[in-house]
Amino acid sequence: MSPATKSSRKPARTAQSKPQGDWQTLRREWRATWKVIVGMLAVLWTVELVDLYALGGRLDAYSVRPRELDGLLGILTHPFLHGGLPHLISNSAGILVLGTLVAARSRWAWLWVSLAGTLLGGLGMWLLGASGSVHIGASGVVFAYFGYLLFAGWFERRFASMLLSALVLLVYGTMIFGVLPGQVGVSWEGHLFGFFAGVIMARVLAKRADH
């Protein structure tokens, strides 16, 4: 009887190749990112439409009112309220682009930057806003995204991050004028403190990534 011989044929590979696997992972990540941003926009639009057409704008009572105790709650609620559809459309555009870029880098970063922009931006308006004024809108959060993206490259010192920061500066650099005081009808205090919140989170998250 002849001795048994091993076949030289290799078993068929059933796993996907690495490039295909990477592409599938990238697609899953982008789908998850879009769900986050679309979900955020859906909440903002639902709140504003209900407020406009069902409540007659009564939710605006939950705005930031500087140095009034009743206005403290607005620090938490002001990003969900807007002064009409044009105001909401403007902020939605910023969230759609800048918010997506933040969430695409890290959804945890998006969460922390959003929270920091809400709290620090709201606090800035409450402390520095003109007496008797009211402040609403998600622009402070948008400026937090802007500040984070602008300084992430500086703090992380990675080529991809620095390239993204440079592109954001090139395309959105004029946003920085939104933090300047004296603009009528503009909550520059929220923009300024929201921007600072984004810069702070860029620093904090870069340090966490190093450890």
Residue boundaries of the structural domains of the chain: 22-210
Q: What is the mean pLDDT of residues 138-164?
A: 98
- Look at the alpha carbons of 202, 205, 209, 211 in this order and tell me if their dihedral is positive or negative: positive
pLDDT at 111: 98
pLDDT at 16 over 60: no
* CA separation for the pair 40, 139 (Å, rounded): 14
Record the tokens describing residue 18, joined without a space: 């690495």
Record the tokens describing residue 139, joined without a space: 């622009």
On whether the CB atoms of residues 141 and 121 are closer than 8 A, the answer is yes
CATH hierarchy code of domain 22-210: 1.20.1540.10
Where residue 12 falls among pLDDT bands split at 50, 70, 90?
A: low
- Cross-strand pairs, 64: 135
pLDDT digits (tens, 9 = 90+) for 39-63: 999 999 999 999 999 999 999 999 9
Radius of gyration of the chain (CA): 23
* CA separation for the pair 79, 43 (Å, rounded): 11
Q: What is the pTM of this model?
A: 0.89
